[in-house]
Amino acid sequence: MAGNIATLTSANFDETVRSADTPVLVDFWAEWCGPCKAIAPVLNELATEQAGKLQIGKLNVDDHGDIAMRFNVMSIPTLIVFKNGEAVKRLVGAKGKGQLLQELAEFLPASR
């Protein structure tokens, strides 16, 4: 599944996040949220460029509100980084690719 974005659900969330051998970036989003749609292309690029180093999953808060509630998501988009199944960083609001990479730098192996 390298380079692809996983569709997370209430059913597969825990399994996916806990079994990952790389950090997992979870995107909490919804259809009616403009800024959520705006970052979708950025996340697609990240998924391809960071394949094997970072897994990206999307969770639709409309369909799976229980997971959103569990993590106290109050604003979307919210991006949460999971490492070894634990939530380690939270980013609220849409961001450009450059800023996102800066925020994720600590979780990615150093490249060039």
Q: Does 95 bind other proteins (CB under 8 A)?
A: yes
Measured distance CA(55)–CA(35) in Å, rounded: 21
Residue span 48-77 as binding mask against other proteins, x where in contact by CB under 8 A, dash where not: -------------xx-----x---xxxxxx
Q: Does 87 bind other proteins (CB under 8 A)?
A: no
Query: CA separation (Å) from 68 to 3, 65, 77?
Result: 24, 5, 11
Neighbours of 84 (CB within 10 A): 11
Q: Does 99 bind other proteins (CB under 8 A)?
A: yes
The residues of the shown chain that bind other proteins, judged by CB under 8 A, are: 30, 32-39, 41-42, 61-62, 68, 72-78, 92-99
